[in-house]
């Protein structure tokens, strides 16, 4: 079983994904089917009009009726009270299976007090808080700052809230060593491998060095296995990414946790 735990149907400028969320949904469902991917977790944007990503409500509406497709709510850290009420409703009704924070894009640390009410909901309903971590996507918002998206800052939240499940997206690339320590130290922290190698990069020196770094992270955190499979579709494509993942040289147990076991446990889908 394969669960892609990190996908988007936002519009990607200058590509075949620039047109509409509806069209992108059709394209991702088709690619998942052709690639043998059984379930998709789709992440909403920052709850503000960025011209690219669907809001949480529009994502929920778009995927409703599609089996094995799940939504993660996006957080705009400058949210108002009504957002918290709405978020709790979505969670209760199982319309969302996690929440995502955009620290580097919105200039706040994971221990920011505005996060606390949302962490409260995550703990109450046992759903994960996901953080965009590491490098920020060029041209997505003006002036992103990576000091906020460094994975080391997840440690403080993990230590202070041992019952809160946290996911470091992209393993905090390029700070995989720091991510490894946060994973190793904190039983409540996981990371996804999405968006590491885009397109043709799989076969380049960069792709090979990424593979080496991921293996080092896995060795450091062993015998625990804390990674989730994800692509960051449409930035990375499914068949190539499955091949990349299979080439990491993992044993059957770890591969099963990576492709589905950890996602089933964390998202309870």
Q: Does 232 bind Zn ion (CB under 5 A)?
A: yes
Residue whose C-alpha is closest to residue 4's, from 238, 188, 191, 223: 238
Binding mask 71-100 for Zn ion (x = CB under 5 A): ------------------------------
The rounded distance, in Å, linking the Cα atoms of 18 and 9 is 10
Cis peptide before 174 (omega within 30 of 0): yes
CB of 259 to Zn ion, least distance (A): 18
- Other Cβ atoms within 10 Å of 208 Cβ, number: 13
Of 51-59, 60-68, 120-128, 231-239, which segment contacts Zn ion by CB under 5 A?
231-239
Closest CA to 52 of 101, 14, 88: 14
192 interacts with Zn ion by CB under 5 A:
no
Tokens of 136: 């920020």
User: In the complex, what is the shortest distance from the CB of residue 139 to Zn ion, in angstroms, rounded to a whole number?
Assistant: 14
Closest contact distance (angstroms) between CB of 230 and Zn ion is 8
Residue sitting closest to Zn ion (CB): 232
Residue 223: CB minimum distance to Zn ion, A: 29
CB of 80 to Zn ion, least distance (A): 25
Question: Which residues partner with 190 through β-bridges?
Answer: 167
Question: Which is nearer to Zn ion, 230 or 261 (by Cβ)?
Answer: 230
User: CA 80, 58, 27 angle in degrees (round to 5)?
Assistant: 140
The two structure tokens encoding residue 115:
């996060």
Q: Is 31 in the site for Zn ion (CB under 5 A)?
A: no
Tokens of 176: 């995989």
For Zn ion, the closer of residues 178 and 232 by Cβ is: 232
* Sheet (strand 166-168) strand order: 3-7, 39-43, 69-74, 96-101, 129-131, 166-168, 189-192, 227-228
74: β partners: 100
- The stretch near Zn ion (CB under 5 A) out of 19-27, 100-108, 159-167, 226-234 is 226-234
Task: Tell me how far, at minimum, the Cβ of 71 lies from Zn ion, in Å.
Answer: 14
In order of 137, 191, 199, 212, 216, the CA distances from 207 in angstroms are 18, 19, 10, 9, 14
CB 228 within 8 A of CB 265: no
Using CB under 5 A, which of the segments 29-37, 96-104, 149-157, 232-240 binds Zn ion? Answer: 232-240
Nearer to Zn ion, 47 or 232 (CB): 232
Nearer to Zn ion, 161 or 175 (CB): 175
Stretch touching Zn ion by CB under 5 A, among 19-27, 47-55, 211-219, 230-238: 230-238
Cα 225 to Cα 102, 184, 222, 228, 248: the distances in Å are 25, 9, 6, 9, 13
Q: How far is the CB of 253 from Zn ion (least distance, A)?
A: 27
Instruction: Considering only the stretches 109-117, 153-161, 203-211, 225-233, report the one whose residues sit in contact with Zn ion under the rule CB under 5 A.
Output: 225-233
How many residues at the interface with Zn ion, by CB under 5 A? 1
Phi then psi for residue 18, to 5 deg, are -85, -15
Q: Which is nearer to Zn ion, 104 or 207 (CB)?
A: 104
Interaction site with Zn ion (CB under 5 A): 232
């Amino acid at each position: 079983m394969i669960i892609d735990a990190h996908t988007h149907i936002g519009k990607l400028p200058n590509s075949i994904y620039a047109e509409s969320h509806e069209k992108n949904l059709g394209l991702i469902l088709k690619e998942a089917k052709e690639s043998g991917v059984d379930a998709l977790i789709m992440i909403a944007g920052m709850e503000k009009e960025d011209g690219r990503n669907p809001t949480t409500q529009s994502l929920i509406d778009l995927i409703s009726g599609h089996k094995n497709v799940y939504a993660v709510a996006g957080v705009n850290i400058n949210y108002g009270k009504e957002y918290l009420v709405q978020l709790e409703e979505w969670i209760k009704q199982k319309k969302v299976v996690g929440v995502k924070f955009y620290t580097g894009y919105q200039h706040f640390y994971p221990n920011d007090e505005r996060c606390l009410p949302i962490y409260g909901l995550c703990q109450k309903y046992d759903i994960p808080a996901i953080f965009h971590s590491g490098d920020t996507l060029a041209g997505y918002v003006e002036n992103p700052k990576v000091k906020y998206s460094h994975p080391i800052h997840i440690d403080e939240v993990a230590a202070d809230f041992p019952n809160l499940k946290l996911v470091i997206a992209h393993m905090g690339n390029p700070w995989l060593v720091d991510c490894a320590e946060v994973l190793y130290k904190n039983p409540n922290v996981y990371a996804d491998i999405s968006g590491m190698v885009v397109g043709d990069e799989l076969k380049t020196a960069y792709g090979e060095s990424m593979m080496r770094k991921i293996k080092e992270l896995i060795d450091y955190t062993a015998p625990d296995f804390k990674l989730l499979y994800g692509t960051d579709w449409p930035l990375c494509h499914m068949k190539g990414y499955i091949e990349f993942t299979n080439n990491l040289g993992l044993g059957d147990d770890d591969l099963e946790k990576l492709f589905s076991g950890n996602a089933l446990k964390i998202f309870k889908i």
